Chain A
Amino acid sequence: MNDQQIIALFQEAVAEVDGNVKLGEMTAATELSSLGLDSVMTMEVIGVMEEKLNVRFPDEDLATLKNMGDLTKLIHRLS
């Protein structure tokens, strides 16, 4: 799975959690804090991604995620 596919998966997960959230164009540099997701919603999106990827992101790694690039790196590391 490449970075673009991971970003697309993230967008799908957001839509699944709350279809009302509108995400613009996203790149590796997109800050997670700029997406308008509250802390619980962010974790819901992470949960959906874990289910789809069949992985479990360690809490300590989730706490360090700043942008989409960090998320893609984490997924590559765990895959």
Chain B
Amino acid sequence: MAKNRAFREAIYREYMEFFERAERNRRWSVFTDIPWDQLAEENNDEEAALNAETFVGVESYLPDYVSQGINVVREMFGQAWFSANWGYEESKHALALREYLVRSGQRTSEQMFDYEEEILGKKWTLPFETARQMTFYGAVQELATFMMYKHQEKLARDRGDEVLATIYGYVGRDEAAHADFYRKVTQLEIVEDREGAIRDMALVFKNFRMPGTLLVPDYDARTEVMRKTGGVDRGVFFKEVWFPTLKKVGVTREEITRASAELRKSAA
């Protein structure tokens, strides 16, 4: 459905603000900003390597995320250009972690190519149909991913692995910025159609799952290692993602649960 001019302009302004901040303050280079010279064998840790490899796997569906995601919003300049920029930023995430695994000697280049082939043997598909639903999915998923990276950054730093900690610091900061943009667009959607937007939010929360689920090889075993090393469990999800997201977009949990009940009734 075509959006009105005022809405399109508001999205454009949000994108320009996002992009200006990204260009001025948030750009980082895989080549010059990671302290590769500090790689040390004694910092290698198999669980940390497995977690990094899992993130590489999830981030490696980038061709699907970009190709499918951008077409949902192609008619909205601000969102389409955000998607293009998002793809550039996300492309560095898998790259930096992949380089870390190989340069640190915890994986061989051949292993990473084998992994890549296995990953891309499956295809990610859109979990939701509309731009509004995908925007809110982005708000939740990017914030959850930020929480995971933030936690991994702390673990790496505590182990003295400054290289990995630096990578997680940069990619986590990107994810937080992406979540913020998605939240701001969600706020605009709420102003435009509060009831419809909240219905979509309830739908997304009810069916939410992280993008690598069922795609990345051995995902359950990998998730177990992530949990064991203190990943995002249900409590953290509520505390750091669910409630803060609702608060920032100005929606109460009662509105979400009412919308959910209505969805269930209409599905019956």
Contacts and interface: CB of A to CB of B under 8 A. Distances in A.
Contact count band on A: 10 to 19
Nearest to A38: B206
Given A18-B264, A33-B233, A33-B234, A40 B239 contact: no
Given A33-B234, A40-B256, A43-B253, A63 B202 contact: no
Interface string A27-41: 000001100001111
Contacts of A40: 202, 205-206, 256-257, 260
A69 interface: no
A12 B207 CA distance: 24
Contact of B261 (A32, A44, A64, A65): A44
A8 interface: no
B257 A43 contact: yes
Interface string B227-239: 0000001110111
B208 interface: yes
A55 interface: no
Contact of B238 (A18, A44, A47, A62): A62
B203 to A, nearest CB: 9
Band of interface residues on B: 20 to 34
Contacts of B254: 47
Q: In the complex, which of the residues B237, B256, B260 has the most CB atoms of chain A within 10 Å of its own CB atom?
A: B260
Interface of B: 202, 205-208, 233-235, 237-239, 242-243, 247, 253-254, 256-257, 260-261, 264
Given A39-B237, A47-B257, A62-B243, 11 more contacts: A32-B234, A38-B207, A40-B202, A40-B257, A40-B260, A47-B254, A60-B239, A63-B235, A63-B238, A64-B239, A66-B235
A59 interface: yes
B264 A39 contact: no
Contacts of A44: 257, 260-261
B238 A39 contact: yes
9 contacts: A18-B264, A38-B208, A39-B234, A39-B237, A62-B238, A63-B235, A63-B243, A64-B235, A66-B235
